[in-house]
Amino acid sequence: MTAKQEEPTGLEIAIVGMAGRFPGADSVERFWDNVLSGDEQISSFTADDAVAAGVAPEQARRPDYRHVHGVLDGIEYFDNVMFGYTPRDAALLDPQQRVFLECAWAAMEDAGYAPRAERAPVGVYAGASQNAYLLNHLLRSPGALANTSPQELLLATEKDLLASRVSYHLDLRGPSVSVQSSCSSSLVSVHMACQALLAGECELALAGGVTIHVPQKEGYQYTVGSVFSSSGRCLPFDAEADGTVFGNGVGVVVLKPLADALADHDTIHAVILGSAVNNDGARRAGFTAPAVDGQVAVIRAAHRVAGVDPRTITYVETHGTGTSLGDPIEFEALAEAFGTDGAPCTLGTLKAQIGHLASAAGVAGLIKTVLALKHRVLPPSRHFTRPNPEIDLDSGRFRLLTEATSWPEHGRRLAAVSSFGIGGTNAHMVLEEPPPPSPHSPGRREHEVLPLSAREDEALLELAARLREHLATHPEAELRDVAATLQSGRTPQRRRATVACTDIDSAIAALAAVRSPTADARDRGVVFMFPGQGAQRVGMGRGLYETEETFRTWIDAADELLDFDLRGLLYAGDPAENGQTLARTGYTQPALFAVEHALARLWMELGLVPRAMIGHSLGEYVAATIAGCFDFTTALDLVAVRARLMQDQPPGAMLAVALPVAEVLPVLGAETVVAAVNGPALCVVSGPVPAVEVLEKRLRADGATCRRLRTSHAFHSPMMEAVAAPFAARLREATRRPPTIPFVSNLTGDWIRPEEAVDPEYWVRHLLAPVRFHEGVGRLLSGPASVLLEVGPGAALRALVGRAGDDHAVLGGLPEADDGAYLARTVGRLWEAGVSVDWSRWRRGTWSRIPLPTYPFRRRRHWVEPVPGSGLGLAVTAEETHDAQDARPVSGAERADATRSVAGLSETVLSIWRELLGIDDVGLDDDFFELGGHSLLATRIIARVADMTGVELPGDALHSAPTPRGLAALAERRDSLPVVGDGPDPELMAQLIAEIAEMSPEEVEDRLRGKP
Cα(961)–Cα(791) distance, integer angstroms: 43
Angle subtended at Cα 917 by Cα 913 and Cα 920, rounded to the nearest 5 degrees: 75
Exposure string of 703-738, with b = 16+ CB inside 10 Å and e = fewer, is eeebeebebbbbbbbebbeebeeebeebbeebebee
DSSP 855-904: -----EE---PPPTT--HHHHHHHHHHHHHHHHSPPPHHHHHHHHSSHHH
1003 Cβ contact partners less than 8 Å away, ≥ 6 residues apart: none
Pairing outcome for strands 448-454 and 122-128: unpaired
Cα(248)–Cα(670) distance, integer angstroms: 88
CB 620 within 8 A of CB 715: no
Angle subtended at Cα 181 by Cα 176 and Cα 187, rounded to the nearest 5 degrees: 70
List Cα–Cα distances, 987 to 226, 285, 980, 990, in angstroms. 69, 70, 10, 5
Could you tell me the sign of the dihedral formed by the alpha carbons of 382, 383, 388, 389, in that order?
positive
Could you say which of 167, 178, 183, 345 is catalytic?
A: 183
Q: Which amino acid is at 990?
A: A
Nearest residue to 676 via CA among 531, 570, 812, 783: 531
List Cα–Cα distances, 148 to 88, 742, 937, in angstroms. 10, 53, 9
Which H helix or E strand runs over 59? Answer: helix 57-60
List Cα–Cα distances, 766 to 716, 759, 869, in angstroms. 8, 11, 86
DSSP one-letter code for 918: T
* Secondary structure in 3-state letters for 95-145: HHHHHHHHHHHHHHHHHCCCCCCCCCCEEEEEEECCCHHHHHCHHHCCCCC
Cα(399)–Cα(304) distance, integer angstroms: 24
Q: Mark whether 862 is an active-site residue.
A: no
Pairing outcome for strands 525-530 and 612-615: parallel
Pairing outcome for strands 13-21 and 249-257: antiparallel
* Secondary structure in 3-state letters for 350-387: CHHHHCECHHHHHHHHHHHHHHHHHHCEECCCCCCCCE
Q: Mark whether 202 is an active-site residue.
A: no
Cα(502)–Cα(730) distance, integer angstroms: 48
Locate the DSSP E strands across 168-282.
Answer: 176-178, 204-211, 220-221, 249-257, 270-279
DSSP 764-822: HHHHHSPB-HHHHHHHHHTSSSEEEEE-SBSSHHHHHH----TTEEEE--B-TT--THH
Widest Cα–Cα separation across the chain: 115
Q: Mark whether 137 is an active-site residue.
A: no
CB 599 within 8 A of CB 544: yes
CB 836 within 8 A of CB 459: no
Cα(252)–Cα(612) distance, integer angstroms: 45
Cα(200)–Cα(202) distance, integer angstroms: 5
Could you say which of 356, 713, 716, 808 is catalytic?
A: 356
Give the other-Cβ count within 10 Å of 759's Cβ. Answer: 14
Cα(918)–Cα(937) distance, integer angstroms: 11
Cα(267)–Cα(851) distance, integer angstroms: 7
Which H helix or E strand runs over 304? Answer: helix 292-306
Q: Mark whether 716 is an active-site residue.
A: no
Nearest residue to 163 via CA among 151, 152, 175: 175
Could you say which of 319, 597, 616, 774 is catalytic?
A: 319
Active site residues: 183, 319, 356, 617
